[in-house]
Amino acid sequence: MKSSLIAPLVVLAGLLACAGSTTANGGPSAHDAPSATASSTVVTPPPAYNPMASLAPLVENLGPAVVFLKVETQVEVNRSRTPDLFGPFFGFPESSPEDPEFRTRTGSGSGFIISADGYVLTNNHVVDGADKVTVSLADEREFTATVVGSDDRTDVALVKIDADQPLPFVPLGDSEALRVGDWVVAIGNPFGLTHTVTAGIVSAKGRVIGAGPYDDFIQTDASINPGNSGGPLFDLNGKVIGINTAIVPGGTGIGFAVPIDMVSEMLDELKSEGRVARGWIGVGLRELDEELKTQLGANEGVVVSAVYPDQPAAKAGLSPGDVITGVDGTTTGKADEVIRAIGLKKPGEEVKLEALREGKARVFKVVLGERPEEESVATGRFIAPQAPGEATDTLKRYGFQVEDRKEAGGVVVSGVVSEGPAGGKLQAGDVIVQINRQRVSKASDVARLLGAASRGSVLVVQREGAQLLITLPPPEK
């Protein structure tokens, strides 16, 4: 059973791991990819290595493949925010008409070489938006790197350096085989202290920390600090089983790593395409509670709370209220399990969704689309907007009106028809926060999201300082 942490307590190393941020500062496994040009440079523990005696032989052999990344980004200076009078107190020089409009911001992180021809894995947040990336090796050689590909959903990036000779690299291991309690070793550059080594155990697997839709982190008590981001987490055989990514601020011995199995699956695509395309069915999901179990006649599964128009699920015939119980024969009981199972597949693939509708088993064959950007998913921008006339008709059928009121905090119910579906449920003055788990930011969102749900909707509204969950039945056609 996967557990979760409250998202605000977790700081992705994207916020913490750029430790010097200043204004102006075993053998190769089947997972090894991209392929090496000179296998003799793979680094493995020496033959007589005994981890019970010391980790030093392991660290000495692995260290040359762990790198330090320095990142430079040009940022626009908004001088109006720092008047000359107060500039010196905040670390800024007094501005003048000759001052540049941009300044260089520097950051740092860790990474590791995975092939003799210079491919390096790190975190996306370490190199995101960078204008220049410099990779420093343990022998103090420096290379200007190129970002080959990145995936912000899993916080993984692949960069490339070119050397005149084969480079030392580390093999990728098998994170699925890890057990809680297994020993692990982290090597990185916390706070700019290059090649710092820490050791600990796997504290948990499958952690959901609120970082994104593909949370599946390894938790470890091997000390991870700002600057460790992008660095490797090794098993005692010297194979990488995770990429150190996130920490809990103020927590001691709580760090998180992206499982290397997840990374291995996307390496070829990052190398060839520069990005990762994931499967998408176009639904809103909600986990079963006791009330829904009774209403829908299902004891397990994930409820389809919304089916978006012109998306794969709608074309396959799914409807709000259907309960997804499996994906391609694998049982699912949580929304994130469904999202990950679909996301591991590629656009254009066909999947079989096992579902319950009105208590009866159904199978839907869905040809996957491509998952939109996360911001588009969160805001619902991927849904085609309704024409003004359609939006008005939708709200009339539900029997209420809305308007934008910034002073009230968002979209406000301005009137309710007592005999309509919203009668006795919504009240004038309610602020609509969500519809079918989608955020509402403007009045047009309300009609669009309601129009996408043919079997009723679940709303979150703000009323007299409290948030309420309100279910609206479908309107009569």
Q: Which residues are catalytic?
A: 125, 155, 229
Rounded Cα distance, 140 and 213, in Å: 38
Helix axes 388-398, 443-451, angle to 10 degrees: 70
Q: What is the DSSP string of 5-51?
A: --GGG-EEHHHH--TT-EE------TT--SPPS-GGGB----TT--T
Q: Give the CA distances from residue 92 to residues 95, 127, 274, in Å, rounded to whole numbers and listed in that order.
A: 8, 25, 37
Rounded Cα distance, 147 and 162, in Å: 12
Report which residue type is found at 19.
Answer: A
Rounded Cα distance, 229 and 13, in Å: 6
What length does the chain have? 477
* Contacts of residue 222, Cβ cutoff 8 Å, sequence gap at least 6: 184, 185, 186, 198, 199, 200, 201, 233, 255
CA nearest neighbour of 109 among 191, 170, 171, 184? 191
Q: Which two three-digit tokens encode residue 144?
A: 């200007």
Q: Which two three-digit tokens encode residue 86?
A: 């107060």
Per residue, the 3-state secondary structure of 348-367, as one string, reads CCEEEEEEEECCEEEEEEEE
Cis peptide upstream of residue 34 (ω within 30 degrees of 0) = yes
Rounded Cα distance, 204 and 11, in Å: 18
Rounded Cα distance, 155 and 243, in Å: 9
CA nearest neighbour of 430 among 458, 411, 456? 411
Rounded Cα distance, 382 and 243, in Å: 31
* Contacts of residue 289, Cβ cutoff 8 Å, sequence gap at least 6: none
Dihedral of the alpha carbons of 258, 264, 270, 275, in degrees to the nearest 10: -50
Q: Which two three-digit tokens encode residue 354?
A: 């096992």
